[in-house]
Structure 1
C-alpha cells in the first residue's frame, strides 16, 4: 500500500517538474486478489485527489478483473465481434458474395476482434467467443441455431477458434527467445516462470500452460530446446498438428452422435463442401445446406426434439410406414412423385437407395444441385400446405 502511494507521489513530483498533468478522473486502481472484500483502509491519492478503486479496468482493449479472470475480457470481445459481424451481414446482405469471400471477410473483420490479444488469455475455452463464430456459420448457411456444431464446422471446412489462439500463443512464446533486448522485462518474467515450474510441478502459470500445450500436441522437444526452433517452419507444422488432433476427435464424436447418422455417410473428409462454391445462388445453396445438416422439419428431426422414439418418426404423407428422413423425402415418398419426375434425374429415382441419395447430395454438377434445391423447395411447400390443412 505504502509502495504504491510513494510511486504516485514520485509521479506527481515528476509531472510538476516537467509541467505535465494527470487526469485523475480517468485514473483507476485495480487491486488484484483471489477473493474476499477489499480492505477498507486501502486508499490512494494523487495531488490530494483520491483515486477510485475499481473491480475491472479496460487497458488497451482488454478488460482486467481484480480476481485475475479474463471472462469479462472475453465477454467484451465477443460483444464487439458480434456487432462487427452484424455490420458485415448488413453490408453484404444484398450482394451475391462467394462464400469463401465471406469467410475471408469474417477472418479479417471479425476474427481479428474476437482473438484480440489472445496471447494473454487464449488458454480459456471462451465459449462466448466461439458462439459468435458458430452464429456466423449458421447465419451464412441459414440453418437452425440448434444445428450440430460437428457437422456445421465440417460443412464449412472451419475449425474452432481456439486452434488459432493456441498457435498465436506458441508463436509469441518462441519470439520471446529472439527478442530479449527488445522486451527484456517480459523475457525475464517468463524465464522466472519456467524456473518455478521446473522446481515445482504443481505451479500453474502462463508458461506451464504453454508447456502442457506443446506436450499434448507431441512437441515436447520444442519446450526443451526453444532456442533451436525455426519459427517460420515450425508454426505451420504446429497448426496442422492441432487441426489433425481436432479431426481425429471429430471422427470419434461423429460416430457416437446418433443425430448425425446420415451426415457421417455424406461427409467423408474434413474439407469445405463443394456445393458451397458451385452454387452462387444463395437461396439454392442454403436449401442444400439445410438438407445436408438436418436443419429441416422432417419427422426424423422434429421427432428428436420432441423426444419421440426414432421408430415412430414416420412419414404422414404416404402409407409406406417408413421413417420420414432425408432419403425418404427426396427419393422415396410417393406423394412427391410428380415433383421428383420433374427435378430429380431418373438414375437416382430408379431402384433408389441410400447410396444413390448420397451420390445425389454430393454431386458436383451445378444443374443437378439446382434441380435438387428446387425439388426441396416445392416439396416442402406441398408438405407444409398439407400439414396446415
Structure 2
C-alpha cells in the first residue's frame, strides 16, 4: 500500500478510470466479487493498493501521467510504501525519479495500519479512545445531573459507539 498526499484535489472527481485503464492487472482482488481495488481516495489523501511490487510501480507511473495531464502534484515528502505480510526488502519504488521510502506503518484517515502487526495496534487505540469517550460521557452526565438510564444508553450509542466502531468493518 502506498500513501500519497496530492497538493491539489481533483483526482477523486475522475472516478479512477485512469488507473484501471493503465494498470488493469494491478490492485488487490476483492474475494468473491472478481473485482479489484486499486485506490482509496478521501479529500487530498490517496492510497494505492497492489499485490506485488511491479504492480505498485505501474500504478505510480500511471499516477505520474495522470498528475502531469491534470496539473496535479504529489507531495513526495508525505509519500511512503508499506508492504504487508512478507517482507519485500529488495523492491524499490520511484515517483518522478525520486525513491519512495518504505515504512513499517502509516496512518490513513486516522487508522494506523502496520505491515506485520495487522490491525492489533489500531484495536488497542479504538479501545483506549472508547474508554476516554465513555468516561467523558459519565462525567458529563454527572455534571448535568442526567440519571435516566435510557437517556444514558442513548447518549452512549450516539457518542461512544462511533468511537469504538470507527473502521471496524
Same fold, TM exceeding 0.5? yes
Bin the TM-score by the shorter chain.
0.5 to 0.7
Instruction: Say which structure is richer in strand.
Output: 2
1:16 aligns to 2:68 (yes or no):
yes
**Change over 3 Å in CA distance of 1:103–1:13 after alignment to 2:** same
User: What is residue 95 of structure 2 aligned with on the other side?
Assistant: 46
Q: Write out per-residue CA displacement over residues 180-216 of structure 1, whole angstroms, 9 at most, x where no aligned residue.
A: xxxxxxxxxxxxxxxxxxxxxxxxxxxxxxxxxxxxx
User: What is residue 92 of structure 1 aligned with on the other side?
Assistant: 141
In the TM superposition, residue 109 of structure 1 has moved relative to its aligned partner by 0.6
CA contact (8 A) 1:64 1:70 kept: yes
User: What is residue 131 of structure 2 aligned with on the other side?
Assistant: 82
Q: Write out per-residue CA displacement over residues 230-271 of structure 1, whole angstroms, 9 at most, x where no aligned residue.
A: xxxxxxxxxxxxxxxxxxxxxxxxxxxxxxxxxxxxxxxxxx
CA contact (8 A) 1:32 1:68 kept: no
**Change over 3 Å in CA distance of 1:11–1:67 after alignment to 2:** same
CA contact (8 A) 1:12 1:47 kept: yes
Task: Please give the residue correspondences for 1:298-337 in structure 2 after superposition, counting only pairs within 5 Å.
Answer: none
CA contact (8 A) 1:84 1:110 kept: yes
* Runs of 4+ in structure 1 over 4 Å off: none
Give the TM-score normalised by the residue count of structure 1: 0.28
**Cα RMSD over matched residues?**
2.1
User: What is residue 4 of structure 1 aligned with on the other side?
Assistant: 56
In the TM superposition, residue 84 of structure 1 has moved relative to its aligned partner by 2.0
Instruction: Say which structure is richer in helix.
Output: 1
CA contact (8 A) 1:31 1:53 kept: yes
Point out the structure with max Rg over C-alpha: 1
Give the TM-score normalised by the residue count of structure 2: 0.59
User: What is residue 58 of structure 1 aligned with on the other side?
Assistant: 107
Query: How many pairs does the alignment contain?
Result: 116
- Return 5+ residue gaps in structure 2 as ranges: 1-52
Structure having greater relative contact order (Cα 8 Å, sep ≥ 6): 2
- Return 5+ residue gaps in structure 1 as ranges: 120-389
User: What is residue 118 of structure 1 aligned with on the other side?
Assistant: 168
> Separation in 2 of the partners of 1:25 and 1:100?
49
